[in-house]
Structure 1
Amino acid sequence: METASAACLVVVTFLCHVVSGGDKDVWCGLNKSCLLEANFPVGDDVVIHWLKVTSKDINVHSYYYDKDQLQLQDQHFKGRTSMFKENIGKGNSSILLKEVLVADEGRYKCYVGTITDKMTSFLNLHVEAPVTKIHIQEADNKLVCSSSGLYPEPQLTWSTKPPLPHALRNTTHTSRDKGTQLYSISNLLDLAGDDAPQVDYICDVRSRSSRRLTWRNISNISVSEGETTIDCLFLTDKTNLVWMFNQSQTIVNRSSSVSENWKKQVKNVSAQGRLALHHLSSDHEGTYTCEVTNATETSVTTFFLRMADGPSQGRTHIVIGVVATLAVLAILAYCVFCKNNTGQGTSNVI
């Protein structure tokens, strides 16, 4: 049986040069199942061989004698392929490839032979790991936009709204993981100076799919009464909202739940994303970030909150000052009283 199988593969390799039709293109999602579709004229004694075309063709899946011939299958595809056996008699030679990897990308051919006919079809399998998340971080008057886990190789571009009169200074770095073969990309952008007009910075990451992130920085917010309200921009009806503090602490998550550490400070979160804060202290000075996400875009607004002396704090300072003054006067009066008593006692002794 093994000799017959090997001979069959040699015949298949020769017959595959007789091509029926042109190549088809199929895009498969990374780690998902993908249908490699092929059909043939109905006939008896069906022999099916799926091969990946390389310098030495790799057996993906074989079927004859009315059953799978998995002993011929290359180790790379073990446990990841299956045929629709109930439809083979109807001329369906398609296979399902599971848990697609970047390494699966390439050209495939399907040979089908029956008693009455033989045919070979080809398809090109392309793998896609789409852009699902863009990260942004601001520090030292620079913006870093990044994304990871992408395929095919991505591109990253910056723009502003409205456009600035000068070119944006930025540097892109792209890397590829040796194991997964997936790409990561990041770009360091110099922000415009303080004298530049207020603009939105837009980071676009494109692979086969694309995603956009818009970043806006709002001027400092000064809090004088220990409470304030911050409006989240860019909101639409179909968005997810997250509030962060100093880019590390979650205040409000995507389900609109307030984190335990911020329940004392969050007075209310409106349906429009407005964040009402109270009982604030100097510990709550820092950067507040509102991130809004929908199917294709992410929009980020940052605010720097600074505590300032307000009327109530001023009154507190005045009270403290008055109390301190009265305490000093009381001490001085007590000292004068003690001195006078001491002087009178000495005169009586003489």
Structure 2
Amino acid sequence: MFNRGSVSLLSDGASEGNASLFVKQVDTRSKGRYKCVVNNVTVTYVVAAVEAPIRTVSIDMNPSGLIQCSTKDVYPAPVVQWSTKPRLNPAFLQPITRMVPGGKGLFKVESVLQQNSSFDYTYECNITSKYGTHTRTASLQLQEINSSEGKDLVIPCKAPKKLQSFSLVWTFTTANKTTDILTYNSQTRKSRSFWDNAELEEDDALKGDVSLTLENPVVSDHSGIYTCTFSGAETQHLTQSRVVIASAKQEKGFIKYNLWMLGIVAGLIALLVLTLVIKRYRAKSKRKQERAQEDAEMQSMNPDKTSDEPQAIQPSSSHS
């Protein structure tokens, strides 16, 4: 239903036969079929569709490993589609999507997807209006990085090729607390760092490479989740990096552990080779014994025939 004063005829054109209706502050209640009757003769019906466009789409991964794509204040309920790069069979994705009506009949959309065990995939969420008038996209790339304490660390991040103009925010999350590291705007070409040991190369940033360089990272302060967020007019892209920094003691212990494990593996391999050699030698000796036994049995079954043959008679010599 309309409030009083929310609809009116366009007064300027009424005297000339223009009976167009002016609806103020359109909302979801404004949709429907309008009937116009002129002089009780001419009847015109107009069907009005109302749309609250998709303005922004956000994507993130929660601590439980679910990737969440969301938007709000949308009408009517949109269509949500997931994909990956490289491409995964849609049967392996199986997202769960909820569309909850909120204030003024507008929808809040949340779609969650279980992350694949591999860090080699980029997850893309597309939300399209029901009428197909526009689409907003959000994507999330996951990666894992291991480094050593005291060594400068570069965390890679590049803008999608189709994203020409963007604003960028680097954040750091640990113990469920998120802080800003650095911001950059591709239009103004200006960056601002909130950490003394964090920077990006502005010449590379002009080409879309906004990789973050950390000088002399410390285990307790710099191990955590680093998120590089690009925001454009119709898209959002995140590169999320899980960074593990090992201390010098941990690294030495890791090397010793690896050497110890390598020694065990080498010993097991040597033992296996020795066992195979012994088995082969025993098998060969057994075959020799079996052959010797077979020869002896054959000889017992076929005794020497020279004793059964008649002896040649020697002619006697005559003496004169």
Q: What TM-score do the two structures reach when normalised by structure 1?
A: 0.57
1:10-29 → structure 2 map (5 Å cutoff):
none
Partner of 2:32: 106
What secondary structure sits across from 1:258 in the alignment? strand
1:42-98 C-alpha deviation (Å, 9 max, x unpaired): xxxxxxxxxxxxxxxx6xxxxxxxxxxxxxxxxx33343344322333433223323
Partner of 2:232: 294
**What root-mean-square deviation, in Å, do the aligned CA atoms of Structure 1 and Structure 2 show?**
3.1
Partner of 1:212: 137
Partner of 1:81: 7
1:238 aligns with 2:165: yes
- Cα distance in 1 for partners of 2:24, 2:46 equals 17
> For the structure 1 residues 242 and 79, does the alpha-carbon distance in structure 2 shift closer, same or farther, using more than 3 Å as the test?
farther
Q: 1:172 touches 1:185 (CA, 8 Å); kept in 2?
A: no
Partner of 2:192: 258
1:126-170 C-alpha deviation (Å, 9 max, x unpaired): 111222222222233331222222211122222112222572243
- Cα distance in 2 for partners of 1:96, 1:254 equals 44
1:193-234 C-alpha deviation (Å, 9 max, x unpaired): 24xx72221112222332222211122242533643333223
- Cα distance in 2 for partners of 1:250, 1:79 equals 48
- Unpaired stretches in structure 1, ≥5 consecutive residues: 1-57, 59-75, 315-350
Task: Please tell me whether Structure 1 or Structure 2 has the larger radius of gyration of its CA atoms.
Answer: 2
Q: Number of matched residues?
A: 232
Q: 1:148 touches 1:184 (CA, 8 Å); kept in 2?
A: yes
Partner of 1:150: 74
- Unpaired stretches in structure 2, ≥5 consecutive residues: 253-320
1:1-350 → structure 2 map (5 Å cutoff):
76-113=2-39, 118-138=41-61, 139-164=63-88, 167-177=91-101, 179-194=103-118, 198-208=120-130, 209-225=134-150, 227-235=152-160, 236-246=163-173, 248-253=178-183, 255=185, 258=192, 262-268=194-200, 270=202, 271=205, 272=208, 273-278=210-215, 280-281=217-218, 282-309=220-247
Q: What TM-score do the two structures reach when normalised by structure 2?
A: 0.61
What secondary structure sits across from 2:17 in the alignment? coil
- Cα distance in 1 for partners of 2:183, 2:199 equals 15
Q: 1:109 touches 1:123 (CA, 8 Å); kept in 2?
A: yes
Give me the identity figure in percent. 26
> For the structure 1 residues 109 and 257, does the alpha-carbon distance in structure 2 shift closer, same or farther, using more than 3 Å as the test?
farther
- Cα distance in 1 for partners of 2:142, 2:180 equals 19
1:239-265 C-alpha deviation (Å, 9 max, x unpaired): 232222228433344656537xx2424
- Cα distance in 2 for partners of 1:244, 1:182 equals 31
Q: 1:170 touches 1:187 (CA, 8 Å); kept in 2?
A: no
